[in-house]
Amino acid sequence: MNKKAFTLVELIVVITILAILGTIGFTTYTGYTSEARDSSRLADLSNIKKAIDLYEINNSKLPEITSSFDVYFGANLLFSQGTFGSDTVPTLKGLINEVPKDPVTGDAYSYSLSQDKTEYETGGFLENEKLSYSPISKANAGTTIAQSVLRGNYNGQFIKIISGDNVLAFASPSITTNNQGVNSLQDISNQNLFVYDGFYNLPANFVNSRYSVVGSTTNRFLNTDSIEIYNGTLVDLNQDVNQLRFIENLQNAYRDTDLSGKFIISKLLSKDLNSSETLKDAKIMLNTLVSDKISIK
């Protein structure tokens, strides 16, 4: 009985089909596993936020950072950044019992505090999000793309410093940076090192992972020459003209940046300085800023 053998062409076709099916299967599997890891990361960040918020309610303060570094504007401390790590978790007994870590890198999540320790951000990244921002530079072409995720109560616009009767305010889209070796807010701005939710730059503690992109995007988050938005007294801040100037300066800090389309910034930029509603909004914002000192009228 004659048995018909496969021809070379038929073998090539079969091998090609099997290779395609294998690639599809591997891609699907990889997609599912990255989605599972991302779900774990989001759950971790949600649990961290809940633990921090409950700790603040119970203790009237925020927990301290693990392995922190500081960021300044001139001589003014603005915020500190480190991790939600081994020095932080023991203070939250009953709220969170072990250090949450990224399922791939094994790193603790980022954790930052404003200088007055009233505002915070925690950060990580997602693997499986579709990115629509600026391309990665050639220097980082071998880096696996990931998207930053930030959680916390930071206002997303400015950092305040109140000393006695004096008030300083500096524009800053986040209190998380991509490089712990850069400690000046101006340099962070000039080198595109801000970490912002949904963009490429990842928190500094992930800098050695294959996912990290260090200042490689072309995104402009802030107008560096407009960072200082207020320097005056609490009394002066009660004047309508200074309240509107505060809003105007804040607008100038973000105008024509890559954040101008993000909700909180676009809402700020849409404010009409000649509108009574804008003045009302300014009073609400500034009352939040100095609520423990005076009442803005």
257 backbone φψ class: left, alpha, beta (φ>0; ψ -120 to 50): beta
Pick from 49, 61, 23: nearest CA to 111 = 49
- In this structure, are residues 260 and 269 in contact, taking their beta carbons and an 8 Å threshold? yes
Asked if pLDDT for residue 8 goes beyond 80, the answer is: no
Lowest mean per-residue pLDDT among 13-17, 90-94, 185-189: 13-17
Instruction: Band the pLDDT of 73: cuts 50, 70, 90.
Output: very high
Per-residue pLDDT, 140: 44
End-to-end CA distance of the chain: 102
Per-residue pLDDT, 213: 65
